[in-house]
Amino acid sequence: MRQLTRWLPEWASPWAVVAFVFGFAVLYSLPLVISFDSYTHGIITQAFVFAAAAMAWNWLGGYVGQISFGHAAMFGVGGFLSARLLLTTSFPFWIAWIVGGLAAASYALLWGHPTLRLRGPYFAIATIGVSEATRLIATYWGDFTGGSSGISLPISEGTAKFSLYWYALYFMAFVVLLSYYLRKSRIGLGLLAIKEDVDAAQDVGVSANYYQDAVLFLSGLVVGVAGGIYASYFVFIEPGDMFGFERSISFLLMGVIGGVGTILGPVLGAFVFVILQEYLIASYPDLYLGLYGTLLIVVILFEPLGLSGLLLRIARLFGYRPRVLDITVGDTKLTAMEEPEAVEPPESDVEPARKEAKA
Amino acid sequence: MEEVVRLGISAVLLAGLYSVMAYGLGLIYGVLRIVNLAHAGVIMAAAYVTWLLHSRLGIDPYLAIPVILVVFFIFGVLLYKGVVRFLPRGAAGGVQSLLLLFGIWLVMRNGAYLLFSGNDRAIRTEYSTHSISIFGTSVAQSRVVVFVIAVLTLAALHLFLTRTYTGKAIRAVAQNPDSGTIVGVNVERFYALTFGIGTSLGGLAGLLLATIFAFNPTSGAVELLKSFVVVVLGGLGSVVGIALGALVLAFAESYAILILPSYLTAAVSFVLLVVVLVLRPGGLFGQRVLA
Amino acid sequence: MKAVLVRKGTILLGMLALLIAACAPTEDAAREAGDEAEVPDEILVGATLPLTGEEADNGLRYQEGYELAFEVANEDGGLEIGGETVPVRLELLDDTTDQATAVNLAERLINRDQVHVMLGTYSTALVEAQSTVAEQNQIPYVNGGGAATAIYDRGYQWIFGALAPVELLATTQMEWIQKEQEAGNVPDPAEIALLWENTSHGEDYRKGVQDFAEQSGGSFEVVVDESFELDSKDFSAVLSKVKSSGADLFLADAHLPDYVTMQRQYVSSDLCHDVITYGARGSEADAAEALGQENVNYILSAVWWNAQLGEQGGQNEQFINAYKERYNTDPEWYQALGYETVRALFTAIEDAGSVEPEPLREALANLEMESILPGGQLSFPEETGYQADYPFVVQQNLPDGSSPIVYPEELATGKAIAPNPNCEG
């Protein structure tokens, strides 16, 4: 273990590396060991893609504290551009995905650079406007998106659905690493400073504009690539589905329910989301909005770290005591209203609602 | 030319409705510093309540106004007492209240869907297709009525906030919650009151909307965003500001058809929203809150 | 210090990415060979329909048609294949009007539940998305819910559509208008205000009208050509544009909610045109109730099927009676299309004498079935990408609440009225 530590940059914990390699190996070989039917296989593939997108949403929503209701815009741009490229050029699919992702990231910068100067709710509201305007324009722009008839990719060409599992896994694994890096490296501290107090961050030399733009660019890139993989998986895409408000909300819900600001929470959120969608919602389709709404309310009022927070509590019951830094990082949302020095030890942070009421 | 006049008239009439929607949202923000995304749900729910009153009990939508105002005032107060008061305020905590109220909106949407299905509903009265002539263009009668009610509501609200003790107290709380406490105003009570009034204005907007447009459980979303545009454009300085904001939006939307394909006119309010937010980031809702 | 850290991290990430992107396992594309071509104990048909969500109403209508057809077939013990009578069973799931769900459920039906054949869902976007799964798995997919030509011009070999294209709907309406024009009831040349919903349905309708106008040699000219978003609220601006254009004909293509909303604003803007239509919508009882009968009079609509076709007896009468017996109301075109789609599939299964994909596909491609649809014949011609092709029936609302068929003449049950008498005075 000490050998490993020497090789790693200081932000990387050796245990995390071991866990990552182990998790990756398990997921990589899982379908080869147990042969799923292609339905389950496909559901897991989709969960990987959404997990990546949810983590990317979380960089902005959790690390920087800028809640986006508009990530569907980048999902759509990435999806449609890579679909177009696959149709009109002979690029390998992964180049098409990356080009789509880069285009999505550039688009994110285009609207994000000016709007990221807004804080809190204003940024969130602006993203609703961006994503809805994008959806309308994309639907109207038939030459690019095929209009409301959408685009069908050729079925015989491109990646077989089956092997998409591993591409989606690589993609998710890469995003997990990036998530970890963005949180644990010094960049993470910069982002945290911005989240706590933009002006104070500026004062100590953290360029909020630069950091936020960079995070949005990365976030857009990942969501754009997710859109590309989604297009390859579903073969047919259509603007109403790709750019829809529901799509944006789904990223937000995965992030918030999984655990805003945590590293792996969104992955958990994405898997829960996909499983709910496929199994529970299939039996009670009338209830899905209400279910997500209720989860959102419960999370905000009682467990701001979502499912991650819940797991953490369970872990505490078994005597696990995480390092204080991790908790404060995750809990900044709670303490954002207080003076920075008022950050309390984890145990007292559990019930924000009651605390706020007292205050 | 004729078309320009016709579009202008329809824009003015639309602006009345917009200002009522926006005022409810703006009042709550101005006093509580909370962006009430559940406003969309309130607008939608009020449309359904109006529809129920009309189709089941035969109550004319315009006569149902007092009922709607009271029902949604109570709903707003309960919402405040039950949930909203536990939330942090201001720019940093705003994100939490935003998400929470968004969750409430989702639950309301789902409730409406379970109760009324996803189908569009419309309220049909004997006069709903009547038209009257203004400057030689025929205009739907119900739109004119909606406009008149909106103007009256804004006038009443203005008087309330400037002439009554309660109204003045609300403005005092908005400007400085701490000094309010010092001079003996029970801040919590006025927060609840404001949330109630804002919600009942949303209810009124929903009622008015239901008399001219069809609606379904997803209704309210677009209205919410338009309310933002209006509030951001007009600030909360005065009723006049809101009205001006509403006029700018309504004119931009209506005249857009002269230069844009009809389909893209729906995007005008969204683009305007982003542009306005970016151009007025600091002065948003103004320092002059309810001044 | 910071820069060094960043660079170190980036290099590490890059190396890992390269390492793992090296290759991915692939699957032998061929499906496991099916069972020997023997007769199964039961024929399992998979389908999804939007039973909840936006399209729930129509999905439920299709469900009635599907279930009736299965019931009728099983009354006699099922379908005859290979000299045996085999019962058929429908495995129907709710796709909640969501594309991803429709695709995932089709995957589940085909690969987990091992259905022999798929019936389609309703509405073009869902069919377009879902049919890709059937094509990938090479399972016949028969649908009665996707009309847009975009579904069938992709060169797919396994997708069969029983809804005639919407373009043809527009063409049939235009033919009737042209006939009235020749009789002097509609001005020549006539100017058209064309409003269409921005969906593939609307796009096809627009294309049908435009093509017809172009080929009319100047008898028709499109002067307003605008699209609108599904479930729009306020049409006053676009209607104002229509008013300024002074068009003679008002041709719109809209779904039911938009039809109701637009017609209401149309009436209260004091608009009137010699011919007014909302494409396939117009005769719905819901609309007459929401708008008032006087506000839907003389609206023209063209549909794939109409219960009045039963007046000519034969299969249509049988279907209508069976439907009434089970559901106690008259069927609309949705139920008829659902029913007929299933019947086409059953006929093909019996023709093929098998539920093996390849022979069944052949049988569907060569199907010639006597049908309840206008024209009396149903087939899936290869030239149209296996989309059925038959005339529409044009109907017109009358003040007494009826909507007789006015075109084509051989099916007509009433006399057309043009120009619109509402515009007088």
Min Cα–Cα distance to chain B from A42, Å: 29
Taking an 8 Å cut-off on Cβ atoms, the answer to whether B267 and A133 are in contact is yes
Answer for the pair C393, C303: CB distance below 8 angstroms, yes or no. yes
Helix (H) / strand (E) containing C378 = strand C377-378
Count structural domains, chain B: 1
What Rg, from alpha-carbon coordinates, does chain B have? Answer: 19
3-state secondary structure of C329: coil
Quote the CA–CA distance of A256 and A268 in Å, as a whole number: 10
Q: How many beta-carbon pairs below 8 A join chains A and B?
A: 144
Domain membership flag for residue B141: yes
Residues of B in contact with A107 (CB under 8 A): none
Residue-wise pLDDT for A327-345, tens only, equals: 334 333 333 333 333 333 3
Min Cα–Cα distance to chain C from A282, Å: 7
3-state secondary structure of B284: coil
ipTM: 0.87
Q: What pLDDT does C232 receive?
A: 84
Taking an 8 Å cut-off on Cβ atoms, the answer to whether B117 and C56 are in contact is yes
Quote the CA–CA distance of B93 and A338 in Å, as a whole number: 10
Residue A110 has pLDDT above 90, yes or no: yes
Q: What pLDDT does C96 receive?
A: 85
Give me the phi and psi of C370, to 5 degrees please. -70, 130
**Which pair of tokens denotes residue A107?**
């688009």
Mean pLDDT of A139-149: 89
Min Cα–Cα distance to chain B from C375, Å: 33
Q: What pLDDT does B164 receive?
A: 92
For residues C237-269, one letter each, b for 16 or more C-beta atoms within 10 angstroms of the residue's C-beta and e for the rest, the string is: bbbbbbbbeebbbbbbbbbbbbbbbbbbbbbbb
**Which pair of tokens denotes residue C203?**
């796009």
Residue-wise pLDDT for A269-308, tens only, equals: 999 999 888 877 667 777 878 888 999 999 888 888 889 9
Q: What pLDDT does C394 receive?
A: 94
Taking an 8 Å cut-off on Cβ atoms, the answer to whether A337 and B273 are in contact is no
Min Cα–Cα distance to chain B from A304, Å: 9
Quote the CA–CA distance of C114 and A150 in Å, as a whole number: 29
**Which pair of tokens denotes residue B268?**
């005008």
Nearest to C269 among B138, B214, B266 (CB): B138
Taking an 8 Å cut-off on Cβ atoms, the answer to whether B267 and A136 are in contact is yes
- Which amino acid, one-letter code, is at A294? T
- Which amino acid, one-letter code, is at C177? I
Quote the CA–CA distance of C352 and C368 in Å, as a whole number: 13
Residue length of chain C: 425
Q: What pLDDT does A206 receive?
A: 78
- The residues with which C227 forms a beta bridge, in sequence order, are C196
**Which pair of tokens denotes residue B155?**
């006038």
Q: What pLDDT does C343 receive?
A: 96
- Sequence-separated (6 or more) residues with CB below 8 Å from residue C14: none
Q: Which residues 121-140 on chain A approach chain B with CB closer than 8 angstroms?
A: 121-122, 124-126, 128-130, 132-133, 136-137, 139-140
Q: Domain map of chain A by residue range?
A: 37-294
Q: Which residues 228-257 on chain C approach chain A with CB closer than 8 angstroms?
A: 229
State how far Cα B257 lies from the chain centre.
24
Taking an 8 Å cut-off on Cβ atoms, the answer to whether B103 and A65 are in contact is no
Domain membership flag for residue B287: no
Min Cα–Cα distance to chain A from C384, Å: 17
Domain encompassing residue B150:
2-113+137-279
Whether the predicted model's global pTM rises above the 0.90 cut: no
- Going by pLDDT thresholds of 50, 70 and 90, the confidence category of residue B177 is low
Task: Determine the residue among A39, A182, A274, A277 to mutate to test chain C binding: the one whose Cβ has the most chain C Cβ atoms within 10 Å.
Answer: A39
Q: What pLDDT does A248 receive?
A: 94
Residues of B in contact with A120 (CB under 8 A): 90-92, 94-95, 98
Residue-wise pLDDT for A20-57, tens only, equals: 999 999 999 999 888 888 889 999 999 999 999 999 99
Give me the phi and psi of C376, to 5 degrees please. 75, 0
Q: Which residues 6-45 on chain B approach chain A with CB closer than 8 angstroms?
A: 35
- Give one DSSP letter per residue of A229-252, joined into a string: HHHHHHSEE-HHHHS-HHHHHHHH
- Sequence-separated (6 or more) residues with CB below 8 Å from residue B220: B39, B40, B41, B42, B43, B44, B47, B105, B206
User: Please, what are the domains in chain C?
Assistant: 43-164+312-384 (3.40.50.2300), 167-302+393-423 (3.40.50.2300)
Residue A4 has pLDDT above 70, yes or no: no
Q: Which residues 118-137 on chain C approach chain A with CB closer than 8 angstroms?
A: 124-125, 128-129, 132, 135-136
Quote the CA–CA distance of C6 and C4 in Å, as a whole number: 5
* Unique residue bearing structure tokens 């997921």: A27
Min Cα–Cα distance to chain C from B115, Å: 13
CATH of range A37-294; options 1.10.3470, 1.25.40, 1.20.140, 1.20.58: 1.10.3470
Whether the bond into C357 is cis, omega within 30 of 0: no
**Cβ atoms within 10 Å of C138's Cβ, excluding its own:** 15
Task: Determine the residue among A297, A301, A302 to mutate to test chain B binding: the one whose Cβ has the most chain B Cβ atoms within 10 Å.
Answer: A297
- Sequence-separated (6 or more) residues with CB below 8 Å from residue C119: C45, C46, C47, C66, C90, C141, C142, C143, C341, C342, C345
Quote the CA–CA distance of B165 and B171 in Å, as a whole number: 10
Q: What pLDDT does C363 receive?
A: 96
3-state secondary structure of A2: helix
Mean pLDDT of B87-91: 66
Q: What pLDDT does B3 receive?
A: 85
Strand residues in chain B grouped as ranges (E): 131-134, 137-140
Residue-wise pLDDT for B203-214, tens only, equals: 999 999 999 888
Answer for the pair C207, A149: CB distance below 8 angstroms, yes or no. no
Please state whether beta strands C369-370 and C377-378 pair in parallel, antiparallel, or not at all (unpaired): antiparallel
Answer for the pair A231, A237: CB distance below 8 angstroms, yes or no. yes
Residue length of chain A: 359
In CATH, what number is assigned to the domain containing residue B64? Answer: 1.10.3470
